[in-house]
Structure 1
Amino acid sequence: MSSKPSPSAARRTFLALSCIAPAFAGAAHAQQAETPERSLGGVTVTDTVIEEGSYKVDKPSSPKFTAPLVNTPRSVTVVPAQVIKDTASASLVEALRTVPGVTFGAGEGGNPLGDRPFIRGFDSQASTYLDGVRDIGAQSREIFAVEQIEVVKGSDSAMGGRGSAGGSINLVSKMPTGERFAAASGAIGTDDYKRATLDVNQPLNDLVGVRVAAMWHDQDIAGRDALFSKRWGVAPSVKIGLDGPTSLTIGYYHLHTNELPDSGIPYLYTGTNAPAGVTETSPARHFTTISGVEVNRPRDAFYGLKDRDFRKTDVDNLTARFQHEFDGGVTIRNTSRYGHSTQGYVWTQPDDQQGNVYGVRNAAGVITAPGNQVWRRANTRYSFAEGLINQTDLFGEKTFLGLKHNFAASLEFAWENAANGTYVSDAATGTAISTGSTVSPRCSATNINRFNCTSVDNPNPNDPWVSYAADGSDTLAGIERSQPKTWTLTQIESYGASLFDTITISDSLLLNLGGRYDHYKVEVSPGLAATSTNVSRTWVSRTDDLWNYQAGLVFKPTPETSLYVSTSSSATPPGSFLAQGSEGNALGTSGSTVNGVVLTPLTAQQLTDQLKIEKTKSYEVGAKANLFNESLSLSLAAFQTDTKNARTTGPNNTVEFIGERRIRGIEFGFNGNITPEWSVFGGYTYMDAKIRDGGFTATTAVDSVTGVSRTLLAPSVNTGKPFPNTPKHSFTAFTNYNVTDRFTVGGGAIYMSKVYGGFQEVGARTIRNGVVVIPSQVIGRMVPSYWRFDANASFKLNDAVQIQANVQNVANKLYYDKAFTAHYANQAAGRTAILTVNVKY
């Protein structure tokens, strides 16, 4: 393929599909009666809006859930608006910390900064949805315009399409309702915390209503030097047909962020300098260097540079949703969305495994790096992602052959496009930003003098770093975006159809079935050299057909309880992350195969043709109950998720799908009210996650016996190791108690056991007499377990004004919340106190 595929056909299809639902439903509009509000347990639902006050939600917003949660044979956690408010959560990451079994991964060069949630051990960055529509661009999501957050656990491709091996996340937007209100909040706190939000809902008449949500946020980060986070956003929407059976809702969302990103804390040891007997390494804190110097890293140590580092993002979404309710309990809904996001950053990665933190000794025993140093490598990225998505849902309740069917059928078309580039010192030549990467050792006198290196225990983010044309040059340069022709381009077109049905066999027995088909095509074009002329892009592509399912049987001893068994699947085709995340099954751009000692190059398309779909299956057995007049929900589940054809390197150094991963666990959840005054939300998750077969690793070396250079394969270091970013134990509990009608107190606890980022052998593999000699010592890069405690209280001055106080991380615990595979871990914020005034009329 020699040129970029045209999106014109995709856009024509999108426009045609967006017309189907209105045309189909328009004739029936005049025949319908007004639809009443629907009561779901302790909350009231009008379209997608959930009233404040409850920690319990009975049914997710998606029509693909064809039964209430108590009758749904899988684990689903819904974070309602009241939990978000009571915990003073201001981002998706903060809100999801209330959900056990969800952790977060760290960004790097190839894996961009932004939300990277892991559900039951699997990366769910590309399985995040907004109002049921995929929201794939790498970004840090705000929640000022979010009504609730829905977390589905277990393989989930039947619901959302490609990916979703461990589950998916759906954010439900605030949309206009028939209620008239104006809500505003203003908050101040420690570390220059400042936040203001606005949420105004105004029916203009019986037919039309508008709603506007807005936010402004500015804060430093507790316990971290120099960092700041600034953002603002607005989300207006209008709905035509407030109370009738037919409605059209149009919404727009914009978010702009500007921050100095945290460079994190480097791990103490690497695979080249770990002392004998060391099996784990954590972020450097108190230690003695290889040269005998004691180092005490300050808690607020920041290794980035204010004169160089930045991160800016913009997100824009335009959504139109048409819905019509027919007589007889059937509804059709069409959702069309255009989304566009951009992200640009220059961000310091601390030391890049160079060994400068602890120090390095060469083979002759000479110390070549004394320790207590950090190299300031610059990771850079400029990217954008855009998508046109159209989804039509038909759902309702019908009786067929004497059995009640609650069904949902869906058709979906998506066109997604992304570009990934970098920041450089000279766009014309594509010269990378000079950070001393060509200098050895990295922390040489020159690099120290140019502030490309700093100390572990006394870094200065105000160092007067300047950009040079090259490591050995004294010519000043700038920092600019690379040329578009150097960017890697990715495009995906997909068509999907799904059908779900909950069949009521009897009052005590339900059968839940679901299936989905996707036709998926992905195309990738690697960037050209900056100095190239008269050169056309080349493209690699592949097309896959995906089939996924879910099935469950529910037994109901009583109307308020259920016992169930279920299974579900997921499929992750090559390139499914749109190059917006950690792509474990990326399309190939170069490579080779090994036949003995001969390397045979393969073209990018040949590599791509070898790829396959990674398939995952989940099994779950559980019980659910609604207690105390259905005001409290309890759930208990045991689960297993298997991937038996994960992408790995095979014994001939080819890409093969022979890897095996398995996770087994149990999960307990609770949410709702124990008494009318006492609300609780949280749960516990145990996960035993193992990489059962990590494939092979190639070793190229001179055979110490024969003297011949060879390339041989031996099992990967990852075989038998735990999943990354997957704690064995995680627990959350949040509670609020209404002491009086005006005064409320509450708090929360979060526990996370040890989390590994990755594993590395200490020393290099060698070859002896035709056999790979594998080092016996392996270190795991990890972050320790931690407890975090929060507290909150609120007082109502009157019916319209409330004062709310939150203290997050009350004990000022030093802990780490993200473990990267190789280089660093992210240090979480220290104690943060926030005072908020909430006003609502």
Structure 2
Amino acid sequence: MLALGSHVAAAQDTASGNAKAPPRKTTDEKVENLQGVDVYGTPTDLSSPKFTAPLLDTPRSVTVLPSSLITQTAATSLQDALRNVPGITFGAGEGGNPIGDRPSIRGFSSTASTYVDGMRDIAIQTRDVFDLEQIEVVRGPDSSIAGRSAGGGSINLVSKTAQENNFANLSETYGSASQHRTTVDANYRFTPGVAGRLNLMDMGGGVPGRDSAVRSDKFGFAPTLTFGLGSPNRLTLGYYHLEDKGTPDYGVPVDLETGKPYSEVDPAIGRKTFYGLKDRDFRRATVNAVSASLDNTLSDSFNLRTQVRATRSVNNYSVTSPDDAAGNTTNGLVYRLPIGRRAEDNSVIAQSDLFGRFDTGSLHHDMDVGVELSQERLRQAGDGNYNGYLYASPAGPQGFGSENCFLPGDPENTALLASHDCTTLHGPNPHDAWDGSVVPNPVNSYYTTKNAAAYAFDTVTLSPRWKVNGGVRWDGYHTRSHTPGVPENSAADHLTFFSYQASVMFKPVENGTLYLTGSNASLPIDLAFGDQDQATPATSFSPATTGRSPMKTTTLEAGAKWNLLDNRLLVSGDVFTEERKNAPIEILPGTFDQSGKTRSRGVELSANGMITPAWNVIAGYSHINGELRDGAYYDNAVDKQLVDTPKNTFSLWSTYQLTPAVSLGGGAYYRDEQVGYYGPPDRIIPSYWRVDALASWQVNTHLGLQLNLQNLLDRKYYTKTYYQFALPAAGRTWMLTANLHL
């Protein structure tokens, strides 16, 4: 539902009919060059045929972010782009995916519900947006759509593919903290019906406001080749490669008396303070994926699509956590706790969909039926405790244990200071000479999940006023874990479950829809026990966790969608309640039981489109009352707001076309305080406002200039927190981009 200008109008034109056109166009989309901002055929409908109605008649809370919005806001990562979707936050952690995206929707983790072109993608990474046509966010339990899910919702990343038009686009960005980014998007038609497209990205630099030692360098390329463009049968082949290197950042320590970031308690600790060690900290992450998609137009009414995707991701890092579990800050010191991971994920997934439309008497059907097969393998160094590396320094073995940096007369702790395993609270030096060793852990644990699924969806038009929608899915999972030499870590389990969604829609007018939806989600405990963020089998999976019922989430959602101002502005709103049962929770330190219950209730509002032909606005608000109803060994956690779930979030992005060549715009973003870990005390980061600004000038038909100012007021705020650390956000940032279109 989130779009810019002509994209909203296009979506509304599609939505005005009673039946949905095939989700993927059989001809190439037109390339447009708009004044002020370049837009390249971004679709505004959902890409998956499992959604059997246009957005206006899709009975779910849905947001679609087109590539034009991503470009305008100068977003480079998935987290950057999703700040325009209220109700989504990103969390932190120690284990499976601390250095990577951990999104949460409606208070429930969606790490395992991230998809690429409609297929689950378990690659643990900090995702880039250089190869994305659009981002689709669907809220609420989605097991009927995609299988296992924690229940909050899903994020689908739609890749750029070859088109029939020749074009080349080059963007060059330079900004604060020596940030630089180059992207290339080029498409070439070799012969009628055969075209190739290449997307390239190279970027590097620091984080404005943080120490210069904090750095990220990325490189990616993604070629696609399509045969049969404009014909009934189309084959698209694709490859995706991403490298992510640099110095990871765990921010500042948490004050264990208040639960706040220490830089909030002690103003002498500025945003720039960094406790890491350049001699020890690193990140080396790569993702490689190959894909094939075959689309067959069987008739005017039916299409068949078959997709296959194989992905290999490697995530290796060593990061310093500014640990204060031993109370070192009272003596003005901080222990540099090393945390390391070495993991490799491999997955293969195939799915086939038959979708189209037909009539039975006076009833019109828009339907999709399909099957899915997948296999996912995780190799993780260590015995299930994420200790991918073994650390040693002149002071002795390090890691996975809080150390006291100061004990009078104790030579060992004096050695910790001398070896720089401990540092000062107010003046850490990331360039301290650390003479220790970082050795890969020779122990490896292996986890495998195999899945087979079948599903069916149908939107039935009963009359011009009434529609009903239904969907069902059956999943069969087989999960296995194995650690050579550690029998207690070896286990196997098999589980099947059934998922559903059911909706009724009433259209009081052609351009408006009221709906009521019920749906569910299931997540096998083998994939969640001890860590509900796991996309692959949970690393605490053992014989003690097998044979248990899945974690279950149910939802009831009522909403309205309306096209206003001659179909230029799409407004929507919904209320929802979600309840989760059978959640694995920690009843004693290190002891888990399947007795957790959580509940999330809220309201979501959005307005997207054109107020006038020159004025675009994209706004959203989310209020979520998420509560842990039962579970957790800390009594004070019950009935508190869910982790990583601010009660109120708001986003606004608006642009105004001053002249045919000049645009001005800006954004405002708000987040309530956010709990990252239940205490005592609870780890909390404060609420904040952030303001952004934009100015763009289309010099001529080939060259455009764009200036983005992010965090314009230079507010100090935090993006995430966990047990022992909180991560400060970037300070005021400027980015100047030159866009060349050929």
TM-score calculated relative to the size of structure 1: 0.80
Shift in Å, 1:433: 5.5
Shift in Å, 1:678: 1.1
Q: Say if 1:744 and 1:794, in contact at 8 Å, map to a contact too.
A: yes
Matched, 1:728 2:679: no
Matches within 5 A, 1:586-665: 604-605=542-543, 607-648=544-585, 656-665=593-602
Match of 1:134 among 101, 107, 120: 120
Give the letter aligned to residue 294 of structure 2: F
How far apart, CA to CA, are the structure 2 residues paired with 1:439 and 1:185? 48
Could you report, residue by residue, the CA deviation over 1:477-533 in whole angstroms, capped at 9, with x for unpaired residues? x323222xx11111000001111111000011110111111001111113547xxxx
Match of 1:460?
429
How far apart, CA to CA, are the structure 2 residues paired with 1:49 and 1:386? 33
Q: Say if 2:342 and 2:388, in contact at 8 Å, map to a contact too.
A: yes
Match of 1:328 among 300, 303, 316: 300
Q: Say if 1:112 and 1:580, in contact at 8 Å, map to a contact too.
A: no
Give the letter aligned to residue 423 of structure 2: T
How far apart, CA to CA, are the structure 1 residues paired with 2:241 and 2:225? 15
Give the letter aligned to residue 562 of structure 2: A
Q: Say if 1:639 and 1:666, in contact at 8 Å, map to a contact too.
A: yes
Q: Say if 2:44 and 2:66, in contact at 8 Å, map to a contact too.
A: no
Secondary structure in structure 2 of the residue aligned to 1:745: strand
Q: Say if 2:236 and 2:293, in contact at 8 Å, map to a contact too.
A: yes
Give the letter aligned to residue 498 of structure 1: Y
Match of 1:282 among 249, 255, 260: 260
Q: Point out where structure 2 has 5 or more consecutive residues left out of the alignment.
A: 1-8, 15-22, 32-37, 382-386, 408-412
**Structure 1 pair 787/162, CA: closer, same or farther in 2 (3 Å)?**
same
How far apart, CA to CA, are the structure 1 residues paired with 2:533 and 2:141? 18
Match of 2:440?
481
Shift in Å, 1:587: 5.7
Could you report, residue by residue, the CA deviation over 1:6-57 in whole angstroms, capped at 9, with x for unpaired residues? xxxxxxxxxxxxxxxxxxxxxxxxxxxxxxxx96447997469686649996
Match of 1:355 among 317, 327, 334: 327
Q: Which moved more, 1:331-340 or 1:619-628?
A: 619-628
Shift in Å, 1:645: 2.3
Matches within 5 A, 1:568-583: 568-576=519-527, 582-583=533-534
How far apart, CA to CA, are the structure 2 residues paired with 1:503 and 1:193? 51
Secondary structure in structure 1 of the residue aligned to 2:262: coil
Match of 1:495 among 440, 452, 464: 452
How far apart, CA to CA, are the structure 2 residues paired with 1:300 and 1:537? 45
Matched, 1:381 2:341: yes
Could you report, residue by residue, the CA deviation over 1:294-346 in whole angstroms, capped at 9, with x for unpaired residues? x6112200000011100111000100000101113110000001100001100
The total of aligned residue pairs comes to 706
Matched, 1:751 2:670: yes
Q: Say if 2:24 and 2:47, in contact at 8 Å, map to a contact too.
A: no
Shift in Å, 1:432: 9.5
How far apart, CA to CA, are the structure 1 residues paired with 2:475 and 2:689? 43
How far apart, CA to CA, are the structure 2 residues paired with 1:663 and 1:432? 47
Matches within 5 A, 1:631-780: 631-648=568-585, 656-694=593-631, 697=633, 716-761=635-680, 779-780=681-682
Q: Say if 1:490 and 1:579, in contact at 8 Å, map to a contact too.
A: no
Matched, 1:809 2:722: no
Shift in Å, 1:581: 7.1
Q: Say if 1:240 and 1:247, in contact at 8 Å, map to a contact too.
A: yes
Secondary structure in structure 2 of the residue aligned to 1:575: helix
Shift in Å, 1:660: 1.3
How far apart, CA to CA, are the structure 2 residues paired with 1:757 and 1:720? 15
Q: Say if 1:451 and 1:463, in contact at 8 Å, map to a contact too.
A: yes
Q: Say if 2:334 and 2:405, in contact at 8 Å, map to a contact too.
A: no
Match of 1:33?
none
Secondary structure in structure 1 of the residue aligned to 2:111: coil
Match of 1:206?
192
Shift in Å, 1:373: 1.5
Match of 1:256?
243
Shift in Å, 1:112: 3.5
**Structure 1 pair 214/652, CA: closer, same or farther in 2 (3 Å)?**
closer
How far apart, CA to CA, are the structure 1 residues paired with 2:592 and 2:532? 20
How far apart, CA to CA, are the structure 1 residues paired with 2:617 and 2:352? 36
How far apart, CA to CA, are the structure 1 residues paired with 2:94 and 2:279? 20
How far apart, CA to CA, are the structure 2 residues paired with 1:580 and 1:692? 18
How far apart, CA to CA, are the structure 1 residues paired with 2:515 and 2:727? 39
**Once the two structures are aligned, what percentage of the paired residues are identical?**
36
Q: Say if 2:333 and 2:405, in contact at 8 Å, map to a contact too.
A: no
How far apart, CA to CA, are the structure 1 residues paired with 2:181 and 2:250? 24
**Structure 1 pair 347/156, CA: closer, same or farther in 2 (3 Å)?**
same
How far apart, CA to CA, are the structure 1 residues paired with 2:662 and 2:560? 35
Secondary structure in structure 1 of the residue aligned to 2:713: coil
Match of 1:174?
160
**Structure 1 pair 479/579, CA: closer, same or farther in 2 (3 Å)?**
farther
Could you report, residue by residue, the CA deviation over 1:331-388 in whole angstroms, capped at 9, with x for unpaired residues? 000000110000110000111522222x2xxxxxxxxxx2x21110000001010111
How far apart, CA to CA, are the structure 2 residues paired with 1:832 and 1:180? 35
**Structure 1 pair 316/621, CA: closer, same or farther in 2 (3 Å)?**
same
Matched, 1:297 2:269: yes
Q: Say if 2:376 and 2:448, in contact at 8 Å, map to a contact too.
A: yes
Q: Say if 1:46 and 1:177, in contact at 8 Å, map to a contact too.
A: no
Matched, 1:828 2:723: no
**Structure 1 pair 110/320, CA: closer, same or farther in 2 (3 Å)?**
closer
Shift in Å, 1:425: 4.6
Could you report, residue by residue, the CA deviation over 1:48-96 in whole angstroms, capped at 9, with x for unpaired residues? 9686649996421111111111111110011111110000001111001
How far apart, CA to CA, are the structure 2 residues paired with 1:203 and 1:645? 53
Q: Point out where structure 1 has 5 or more consecutive residues left out of the alignment.
A: 1-37, 275-279, 289-294, 360-369, 468-477, 530-535, 591-603, 698-714, 762-778
Q: Say if 1:58 and 1:68, in contact at 8 Å, map to a contact too.
A: no
Shift in Å, 1:546: 1.5
Give the letter aligned to residue 330 of structure 1: F
How far apart, CA to CA, are the structure 1 residues paired with 2:637 and 2:103? 21
Give the letter aligned to residue 474 of structure 2: Y
Query: What do you get for the CA RMSD once the two structures are aligned?
Result: 2.7
**Structure 1 pair 281/424, CA: closer, same or farther in 2 (3 Å)?**
closer
Match of 2:398?
434
How far apart, CA to CA, are the structure 2 residues paired with 1:147 and 1:694? 41
Matched, 1:838 2:704: no
Could you report, residue by residue, the CA deviation over 1:233-281 in whole angstroms, capped at 9, with x for unpaired residues? 0000100001001010000000011110112111112xxxx3xxxxx42
How far apart, CA to CA, are the structure 1 residues paired with 2:222 and 2:536? 35
How far apart, CA to CA, are the structure 1 residues paired with 2:318 and 2:586? 32
Shift in Å, 1:805: 0.5
Matches within 5 A, 1:339-350: 339-350=311-322
Give the letter aligned to residue 517 of structure 1: W
